[in-house]
Structure 1
Amino acid sequence: MTIGPIELEIIRHRLEAINADAGETLVRVSGSQIASEASDFNTAIMTADGTVISCSKFILVQSTSLNLIVRDILDRYGENPGIGRGDQFLTNDPYLGTLHQPDVTLVAPIFHGDRLIAWAGSTVHEPDVGGPVSGGFNYAARSIFDEAIPIPPVKIVEAGSVRRDIERDYLARTRTPELNALDLLGQIAANRASERQVLELCAAYGTDGLVHAMDRLLASTEAAFRRRLIELPDGIWRENSFIQHEQRSGADYLPNQVYAVRLAMAKAGDKLSFDFTASDDQAPGAVNSTYPTLANFTMAAVLVHICQGLPWMPGAIWRTIDIHTRKASIVDAEWPAGVAMSTGTSAQAIRNCVSGCLARLLDGSAAHAHMAMASSQSSGAGGMSISGHRRDGTPFTTLFLDELSGGGGATVRADGSDTSGTATSPGATPSNLETNEAYYPVLYLTRRELADSGGPGMRRGGVGAMHAYRPHQTDRSIALLSMAQGLQHPATMGAAGGEPGLPSGFAIMSCDVPVAVSSGWAELADATDFRLPDAATRLYPDQILVTSSQGGGGFGDPLERDPAAVAMDVLDGLVSVGNALRDFGVVLRLDGDQVEIDRDASEAARKARLKVRLGGRDPRTIEGPVSGRRLSSHFRAVAVSGGEQVVCAVCGHGICDAGEDIYASLAVHEAVAGERSAITDRYPGSERFRIRHFYCPGCARQVDVQVALSGDPVLEAIELPFPRNPTETRP
């Protein structure tokens, strides 16, 4: 059968539908709360050599580099133990291809006759995979030998039958064998469903036709992505992100040390390059990322930010991307470094860096600036492995993903989605709290949106949420292991001058604190002694755990937000009246259930704020938009005598000569990390961080916001090439 353009699109959409069906099959068969409620899983279809041609959109980062696992199986197992029809291989090895040990992957070859034509695969986060600590995370790990020992690929299904010896070995490692067994059955059924439907495509289009169609889909998507890259400006963009963990040197132990992930992203023609080599050395514990984790989080961010309107086909996009890294670093750990906590720590810092650089890249394109998006929520304290014993003495352990209630990033056209979760996990969600209560001995007191947590901007970042629960129907304490990043500084960055989202929060309080009726952290700040979670953190029956997820980053200068939009946010409970003035320079008055805008007072407040930005100097009068070559929302390149000059896109003020460091010529204000938070500065270590606000020296427009370590040099976040013979002339 001839495969034309129409048939090709049918096959592409059919592959996406097969993945969706596989996910539904997995959830129905498994019944595990993590899979069925939180959707902490993903499925994928690969070509015969393991190239990922289609993946579901639940946890993107779990499937974009499954090719590494399949490639290892093809290279090592062809003769012994062999790869045959009906086989399925299980692994949770993060040094090979998974994110961390709790993510268990199952891949299955698909044969038509004796011919290997494709692979199906799925990954599920398991509640426990063994090791010295319930849940698989160990704060005190010095190496991977203090965590669950990874399982290399093993043939757990052979010729359609489960290998009971291998299954027994796998389940003997875990404290939750019943749930893990359910997930395994769900993954087996999902892969079989994918196999059946792929073979139906063979029947419809012929085996050669389907294989050829998959090759054409990869080639056409690669070509489309290269065309998009060519449409984007060349240059180098930089972003830094930070995590905290302990540090050891010999017998010395230093708690709460900072590790930096540093990215320089270069775009030239139709190629993207991600250089992480300046990132810090690997940590002595569980927060390191392996190369597969680095690759997965990088690719997922690329798909979400740049591939709007294009097929999300990782195998095609990988052909255009280079990743440069350094072994034994926090982003590319060397065996036997501990890595079990990577997904909520260093991996989130990787994603934040990639998202920030891609937002800057897109913002520099007149045609694609509408796609630029601030960072969505990052990992926070609500990502929680809990374990203990019920009243009858039976043990339990699971993962609560309350952190997935964080806010989405704003764009130039729209506010970020409230409590929408992580952009690179578009299908994931916190479990229904009633499900958590039914399965585990906890009682939720509140789960609600958290006002003022979204990053201020011309477009506001989505708000995060606050959660609180206590032990219930148990007389024993509950062990808590929180990812707990983003407590000491904002970790969800804004774009184009937008502010970061509010940092995360974590506190254990007495049961008599009225958490359920409080308006947020400002009312609770004096009700407890704020401490960072550690390996000994426990929640006792007379205590409440309170956490909050991070808001999404804002887009653009907050003083340019429409006052009517601020008033609507106040009516919706997303912004408080006091912070409408603090964050947006808008004066509001409440009259019953109505909000009145004092426009004269708001205009005066905004003018005063602009003057403060320039150290008391009056800002330059804005006469109209400035023509010139677009460099970003805020900068244009115009021709002047002898070359080009970078000018403000609003007021035309000359910033610097072409090729010079733009940031060295901007007005800058440095604030403490907790400038908008009632609790951030109460966490030990927060004093090390600063928020740097950059303004046009002419009109005082806010053009960028960066989080940095105190004393670090200003980051040159945009470095652009300039033509020798500029054609634009300054008006």
Structure 2
Amino acid sequence: MDPITLAVVRGALEQIADEMDLHLIRAAISPIISETNDCAHGIYRADTGETIAQGRFGLPVFLANMQFTVQNLIEHVRGSGGFRPGDVWILNDPYLSGTHLQDVVLVAPHFVDGELFALLASTGHWMDIGGAVPGGWAPSAQEIHTEGIIIPPVKLYDEGKLNTGLVSMFTRNVRLPTQIEGDLFAMANVFSVGRRGLDSLIARHGRDTLSACISEMIERSEKQMRSYIAEIPDGVYHCEDFLDNDGIDDKPIRIALSLTVEGSSMHFDFSGSDPAACGPVNLARTTTQSTCFIALKHIFADVPVNGGAFRPTQFTIPEGCVVSAAYPSPVSGYLEPIGRVFDVVFGALAQAIPQRTPAPAFGTVGVVTVGGRQPDTGSYFVAVFPYPGGYGAHARGDGLVNGTPPVSMANFMSIEMSEHRYPLQFVEYALREDSGGAGRYRGGCGTQYRFMTRSECVVSALGDRVDHVPFGIAGGKEAAPSVVQFGIGGREMTPPMRSKVEKQRMHAGDWLAAASPGGGGFGDPLERDLEGVERDLNLGYISRRTAEEVYGVVVSEQRRKSGALRYSVDSGASARKRARMRGDQGKTAATG
């Protein structure tokens, strides 16, 4: 294979997928797509359903999930006459397409000279799916039918003819019919971008050359991923973590992984995980698999995203467990358990390759949804706020502050846009002091925000990481817990499930405050360089108390003319204090 042609074709295919992402982001009506980028697009092999290329502007959570969706659809369509030119299929059944009901998938075939050449797919998050809770995140759901409409694989377009009755069914059963209809047709129109790009490539290189390049791309990705896995010491690595609760029963839920590395292959075994939860914090099998791939991609970032990168992995995931839930288990809160799956993969790999594996990030999306009617028009509104947090530290540096969730990468919509669209007023959005885990390298800071409502509405929260916080690695410390609080009629209130509450009624002047964890720390805090501690103090990342008691430094302060405090670290006194603290730790370890 000519390497220049291969590189040009690979770049062009990735560009087509990128353009599909951008087309939907710019055309969508709902801000969860246009502002938060909650979408994804890809090109897939028509025979195997393997990913050829996926856009880089959508969410990582759909990385492999869309491949599994396409593969499941291929099996379904095979029994119903196959794909035809002009067809567009639609589904959101999470037991086939993963994630949750709000993530709707469209799949269209692309034909060349009358023969099926590839499949194109578009995933977009709908702001409402017709369930009991505005927005679809239902913290008290005990079955999927509470969460919204299930769309089995069905044709939206049949050989180019729109199923208008299906569109009417959607718009009649959601709170935001205009937004949903607009987003639906924007998603369907994305396929014109993909078809145009593929036709241009085929006209330039020919079908045979393009097919050969695709096969070579996938094989090279497999070889590259296998070469990286082969560098990991063979062995079985165990890690487990817990969800605080499922929103129904206030007891922890175990997610356990045994990761086997053998040669150039990996086997993920989740057999030790708890049964499916009663509440909505379950995962479909495909989402669990996809999350494992995302974790690997964070470590082996230069492996191209295509089906070859997924081939070296095998899975044992018992059906009916919390990470392979079956109908009718609810899944609207899937963003919480994927954080835990992500972290147990990191926790297992940290035992084998600690210098390449970061500590866990904040590990909760903490979605807050606000639903009600606009005070001026009376029309429904639904607002969605996934909060940013801190990333885990690693062997090369501190964790990112104010980062989007590493599995979903959903943006927090700008304050200005939020206040413009919804009857809300934000009174605070800030980095959260002392939220990152201490260490030689510090976990990134989480965030805290507070908004007041300007009219009557209902507010729901679906988060986690209050009781079981992000852990540190290699001697690093854990991060701070998440926090959700309400101010209702002048009275402060914490939900009984701490981070989960459904349809809390609020009136004008009431408020909600949410704070995300930081990331876990890496290494002994007493080994952090003094300049780093001083910088963190002056940036407000850590408090003076943490600097003195955890990092073992001696601090002096000076008030400037502006009134601001400037902290300084005494290097000599700090070195002596740290030596004493290490001695005390050694004595404790010896007598413990």
What range describes the TM-score normalised by the shorter chain of this pair?
over 0.9
Q: Distance in 1 between matches of 2:350 and 2:187?
A: 36
Q: Distance in 1 between matches of 2:483 and 2:63?
A: 30
Q: Distance in 1 between matches of 2:73 and 2:284?
A: 19
In the TM superposition, residue 495 of structure 1 has moved relative to its aligned partner by: 2.5
Query: Is 1:353 aligned to residue 338 of structure 2?
Result: no
When residues 351 and 454 of structure 1 are mapped into structure 2, their CA distance, relative to the original with a 3 A threshold, is same
- Give CA-to-partner distance per residue, 1:313-335, whole Å, 9 cap, x none: 2x112211011111111111122
In the TM superposition, residue 376 of structure 1 has moved relative to its aligned partner by: 2.0
Contact 1:28 1:186 in 2 (8 A): no
Alignment of 1:345-494 (within 5 A): 345-363=336-354, 369=355, 371-381=356-366, 383-392=367-376, 394-403=378-387, 405-426=388-409, 428-472=410-454, 474=455, 476=456, 478-490=457-469, 492-494=470-472
| Larger-gyration structure (1/2) | 1
What is aligned with 1:516? none
SS in 2 for 1:22: helix
SS in 2 for 1:9: helix
Query: Is 1:495 aligned to residue 473 of structure 2?
Result: yes
SS in 1 for 2:95: coil
Alignment of 1:262-281 (within 5 A): 262-281=256-275
Q: Distance in 2 between matches of 1:211 and 1:559?
A: 56
What is aligned with 1:607? 579
When residues 193 and 564 of structure 1 are mapped into structure 2, their CA distance, relative to the original with a 3 A threshold, is same
Contact 2:339 2:407 in 1 (8 A): no
2:511 aligned to 539, 544, 553, which one? 544
TM-score of the pair, normalised by structure 2 = 0.93
Q: Distance in 2 between matches of 1:19 and 1:504?
A: 36
What is aligned with 1:310? 303
Structure 2 letter corresponding to 1:349: R
What is aligned with 1:60? 60
Structure 1 letter corresponding to 2:353: L
SS in 1 for 2:255: strand
Q: Distance in 2 between matches of 1:207 and 1:459?
A: 51
Structure 2 letter corresponding to 1:509: G
What is aligned with 2:25? 27
SS in 2 for 1:537: strand
Q: Distance in 2 between matches of 1:292 and 1:415?
A: 32
Stretch deviating more after TM superposition (431-440 or 161-170)? 161-170
Stretch deviating more after TM superposition (200-209 or 169-178)? 169-178
Query: Is 1:506 aligned to residue 484 of structure 2?
Result: yes
Structure 1 letter corresponding to 2:51: V
Contact 2:338 2:407 in 1 (8 A): no
When residues 78 and 529 of structure 1 are mapped into structure 2, their CA distance, relative to the original with a 3 A threshold, is closer
Contact 2:244 2:466 in 1 (8 A): no
Unaligned ranges ≥5, structure 2? 560-564
Percent identity between matched residues is 27
In the TM superposition, residue 310 of structure 1 has moved relative to its aligned partner by: 2.1
Query: Is 1:342 aligned to residue 334 of structure 2?
Result: yes
Q: Distance in 1 between matches of 2:376 and 2:74?
A: 48
Structure 2 letter corresponding to 1:7: T
Q: Distance in 2 between matches of 1:245 and 1:555?
A: 27
In the TM superposition, residue 31 of structure 1 has moved relative to its aligned partner by: 3.0
Structure 1 letter corresponding to 2:338: A
Contact 2:98 2:284 in 1 (8 A): no
Structure 1 letter corresponding to 2:554: V
Q: Distance in 2 between matches of 1:422 and 1:73?
A: 29
What is aligned with 1:46? 44
Q: Distance in 1 between matches of 2:294 and 2:301?
A: 12
- Give CA-to-partner distance per residue, 1:90-109, whole Å, 9 cap, x none: 11111002311111111111
When residues 208 and 170 of structure 1 are mapped into structure 2, their CA distance, relative to the original with a 3 A threshold, is farther
Structure 2 letter corresponding to 1:342: Y
When residues 320 and 553 of structure 1 are mapped into structure 2, their CA distance, relative to the original with a 3 A threshold, is same
Q: Distance in 2 between matches of 1:598 and 1:488?
A: 36
- Give CA-to-partner distance per residue, 1:441-468, whole Å, 9 cap, x none: 1110011111211121111111111110
Contact 1:135 1:397 in 2 (8 A): no
Structure 1 letter corresponding to 2:53: S
In the TM superposition, residue 399 of structure 1 has moved relative to its aligned partner by: 4.5
When residues 123 and 614 of structure 1 are mapped into structure 2, their CA distance, relative to the original with a 3 A threshold, is same
When residues 211 and 374 of structure 1 are mapped into structure 2, their CA distance, relative to the original with a 3 A threshold, is same
Q: Distance in 1 between matches of 2:471 and 2:155?
A: 43
2:545 aligned to 573, 578, 581, which one? 578
Structure 2 letter corresponding to 1:508: F
In the TM superposition, residue 82 of structure 1 has moved relative to its aligned partner by: 4.0
- Aligned alpha-carbon RMSD (Å): 2.2
Q: Distance in 2 between matches of 1:180 and 1:222?
A: 38
SS in 2 for 1:377: coil
SS in 2 for 1:272: strand
Q: Distance in 1 between matches of 2:21 and 2:222?
A: 26
Structure 2 letter corresponding to 1:235: G
In the TM superposition, residue 583 of structure 1 has moved relative to its aligned partner by: 2.7
Structure 2 letter corresponding to 1:499: K
In the TM superposition, residue 123 of structure 1 has moved relative to its aligned partner by: 1.2
In the TM superposition, residue 68 of structure 1 has moved relative to its aligned partner by: 2.4
When residues 312 and 577 of structure 1 are mapped into structure 2, their CA distance, relative to the original with a 3 A threshold, is same
Contact 2:246 2:278 in 1 (8 A): yes
- Give CA-to-partner distance per residue, 1:130-158, whole Å, 9 cap, x none: 12222223233222233224211111123
Contact 1:45 1:121 in 2 (8 A): yes
Contact 2:243 2:468 in 1 (8 A): no
Query: Is 1:299 aligned to residue 299 of structure 2?
Result: no
Contact 2:397 2:441 in 1 (8 A): yes
TM-score of the pair, normalised by structure 1 = 0.76
What is aligned with 2:521? 554
What is aligned with 2:501? 534
Q: Distance in 2 between matches of 1:549 and 1:28?
A: 29
Q: Distance in 2 between matches of 1:393 and 1:386?
A: 17
Q: Distance in 2 between matches of 1:31 and 1:205?
A: 37
Contact 1:374 1:409 in 2 (8 A): yes
In the TM superposition, residue 74 of structure 1 has moved relative to its aligned partner by: 2.2
When residues 83 and 530 of structure 1 are mapped into structure 2, their CA distance, relative to the original with a 3 A threshold, is closer
What is aligned with 1:207? 207
In the TM superposition, residue 260 of structure 1 has moved relative to its aligned partner by: 0.8
Structure 2 letter corresponding to 1:401: F
In the TM superposition, residue 220 of structure 1 has moved relative to its aligned partner by: 0.8
Unaligned ranges ≥5, structure 1? 248-253, 364-368, 514-526, 619-666, 669-731
Structure 2 letter corresponding to 1:387: G
SS in 1 for 2:502: coil
When residues 219 and 264 of structure 1 are mapped into structure 2, their CA distance, relative to the original with a 3 A threshold, is same
Structure 2 letter corresponding to 1:431: M
What is aligned with 2:562? none
Q: Distance in 2 between matches of 1:81 and 1:438?
A: 48
2:325 aligned to 333, 343, 349, which one? 333
In the TM superposition, residue 482 of structure 1 has moved relative to its aligned partner by: 1.0
SS in 2 for 1:181: helix
In the TM superposition, residue 397 of structure 1 has moved relative to its aligned partner by: 4.2
In the TM superposition, residue 414 of structure 1 has moved relative to its aligned partner by: 1.7
When residues 617 and 64 of structure 1 are mapped into structure 2, their CA distance, relative to the original with a 3 A threshold, is closer
When residues 543 and 441 of structure 1 are mapped into structure 2, their CA distance, relative to the original with a 3 A threshold, is same
Q: Distance in 2 between matches of 1:156 and 1:131?
A: 21
- Give CA-to-partner distance per residue, 1:670-724, whole Å, 9 cap, x none: xxxxxxxxxxxxxxxxxxxxxxxxxxxxxxxxxxxxxxxxxxxxxxxxxxxxxxx
SS in 2 for 1:481: strand
Contact 1:539 1:545 in 2 (8 A): no
SS in 1 for 2:368: strand
Q: Distance in 2 between matches of 1:189 and 1:536?
A: 35
In the TM superposition, residue 392 of structure 1 has moved relative to its aligned partner by: 4.2
Q: Distance in 2 between matches of 1:617 and 1:144?
A: 50
- What is the aligned length? 583
Q: Distance in 1 between matches of 2:353 and 2:84?
A: 45
